[in-house]
A and B are shown apart, each in its own frame.
Chain A
Amino acid sequence: MNWRLFAPVIAIVVFALLWEAVVWVNDWPNYKMASPSDLGPAFWKFRWLFLEYGWDTLWRTVAGLLLSVLVGLLLGMIMGLNRTMRDALYPLLVGFNAIPKATVVPIIALLFVGAHDMNTILIAFLISFFPIAVSVSIGLSTLEPEYRDILAALGASRFTIFWKIALPKTLPEFFGALKVAVTLAFIGTNLMEIVEPHGRGLGHLFDSGKISADYPLMFAVLIALAVLGILLYYVVVVLERIFAGWAERSPT
Chain B
Amino acid sequence: MDTNSPAGVQTQGPEEGRPVGGQPPSDALIDIRGVKLAYETKDGRLPVLDGVDMQVPEGGFVAVVGPSGCGKSTLTRLIAGLLEPNAGEVWLHGERVTGPKSSVGMAFQNPVLLEWRSVLRNVTLPLELVAPRMPKREKEERALRLLTLVGLEGFERKRPSELSGGMRQRASLCRSIVHKPEVLILDEPFGALDAFTREDLWQTMQKVKSEEPFTGVMITHDLRESIFLADQVIVLSGRPAFTQFTMEIPWKGERDLDLLYTAEGAEMLGELRDQIQIAQGRSPREADA
List chain A positions with a Cβ less than 8 A from chain B.
144, 146-147, 149-156, 160, 164-165, 168-169, 171, 244, 246-247, 249
CB-CB < 8 A to B99: which residues of A? 155
B80 within 8 A of A: yes
The answer to whether A153 and B104 have CB atoms under 8 Å apart is: yes
The answer to whether B110 and A146 have CB atoms under 8 Å apart is: yes
Which residues, 117 to 152 on B, are CB-close (under 8 Å) to A? 125-126, 128-130
Known A-B contacts A155-B99, A164-B128, A168-B114; A150 and B106 likewise in contact (beta carbons under 8 Å): yes
Residue in contact with A156 in the complex, picked from B115, B129, B159, CB distance below 8 Å: B129
List chain B positions with a Cβ less than 8 A from chain A.
77, 80-82, 99-102, 104-106, 108, 110, 112, 114-116, 125-126, 128-130, 159, 161, 175, 179, 185
How far, in whole Å, are A200 and B112 apart by their CA atoms in the complex? 51
CB-CB < 8 A to B125: which residues of A? 150-151, 164
Least CB distance from A233 to B in Å reads 23
Please give 11 more A-B residue pairs, beta carbons under 8 A apart, in addition to A154-B126, A160-B129, A169-B115.
Answer: A147-B114, A149-B77, A149-B82, A150-B112, A154-B101, A154-B104, A155-B102, A165-B114, A247-B115, A247-B116, A249-B161
20 contacts between A and B (CB under 8 A): A146-B110, A147-B114, A149-B77, A149-B80, A149-B106, A150-B106, A150-B125, A151-B125, A153-B81, A153-B82, A153-B100, A153-B105, A154-B100, A154-B102, A154-B130, A155-B129, A160-B129, A169-B114, A169-B115, A169-B116
The answer to whether B130 and A150 have CB atoms under 8 Å apart is: no
Residue in contact with B115 in the complex, picked from A144, A152, A155, A246, CB distance below 8 Å: A246
CB-CB < 8 A to A153: which residues of B? 80-82, 100, 104-106, 185
How far, in whole Å, are A144 and B110 apart by their CA atoms in the complex? 10
CB-CB < 8 A to B179: which residues of A? 154
The answer to whether A151 and B82 have CB atoms under 8 Å apart is: no
Known A-B contacts A152-B82, A154-B126, A154-B130; A147 and B101 likewise in contact (beta carbons under 8 Å): no
How far, in whole Å, are A247 and B81 apart by their CA atoms in the complex? 32
The answer to whether A146 and B108 have CB atoms under 8 Å apart is: yes
CB-CB < 8 A to B104: which residues of A? 153-154
CB-CB < 8 A to B81: which residues of A? 153, 155
Closest residue on chain A to residue B106 by CB atoms: A153
Interface of A is mostly: helix
CB-CB < 8 A to B175: which residues of A? 150
Closest residue on chain B to residue A160 by CB atoms: B129
CB-CB < 8 A to A246: which residues of B? 115-116, 159, 161
The answer to whether B128 and A144 have CB atoms under 8 Å apart is: no
Closest residue on chain A to residue B102 by CB atoms: A154
CB-CB < 8 A to B82: which residues of A? 149, 152-153
Top 3 A-B pairs, shortest CB-CB distance: A155-B100, A246-B116, A153-B80
The answer to whether A144 and B114 have CB atoms under 8 Å apart is: no
CB-CB < 8 A to B112: which residues of A? 144, 146-147, 150
Residue in contact with A154 in the complex, picked from B77, B129, B161, CB distance below 8 Å: B129
Least CB distance from A205 to B in Å reads 43
Least CB distance from A147 to B in Å reads 5
The answer to whether A152 and B110 have CB atoms under 8 Å apart is: no
Closest residue on chain A to residue B160 by CB atoms: A246
CB-CB < 8 A to A149: which residues of B? 77, 80, 82, 106, 108
CB-CB < 8 A to A249: which residues of B? 161
How far, in whole Å, are A150 and B125 apart by their CA atoms in the complex? 9
Least CB distance from B129 to A in Å reads 5
The answer to whether A168 and B116 have CB atoms under 8 Å apart is: yes
CB-CB < 8 A to A152: which residues of B? 82, 100
How far, in whole Å, are A146 and B126 apart by their CA atoms in the complex? 14
CB-CB < 8 A to A171: which residues of B? 116
The answer to whether B129 and A151 have CB atoms under 8 Å apart is: yes
CB-CB < 8 A to A150: which residues of B? 106, 112, 125-126, 175
How far, in whole Å, are A249 and B116 apart by their CA atoms in the complex? 12
CB-CB < 8 A to B128: which residues of A? 164
How far, in whole Å, are A14 and B175 apart by their CA atoms in the complex? 57
How far, in whole Å, are A169 and B114 apart by their CA atoms in the complex? 8
CB-CB < 8 A to A247: which residues of B? 115-116
Least CB distance from A252 to B in Å reads 10
Closest residue on chain B to residue A165 by CB atoms: B114
Known A-B contacts A160-B129, A249-B161; A155 and B101 likewise in contact (beta carbons under 8 Å): yes
How far, in whole Å, are A247 and B114 apart by their CA atoms in the complex? 11
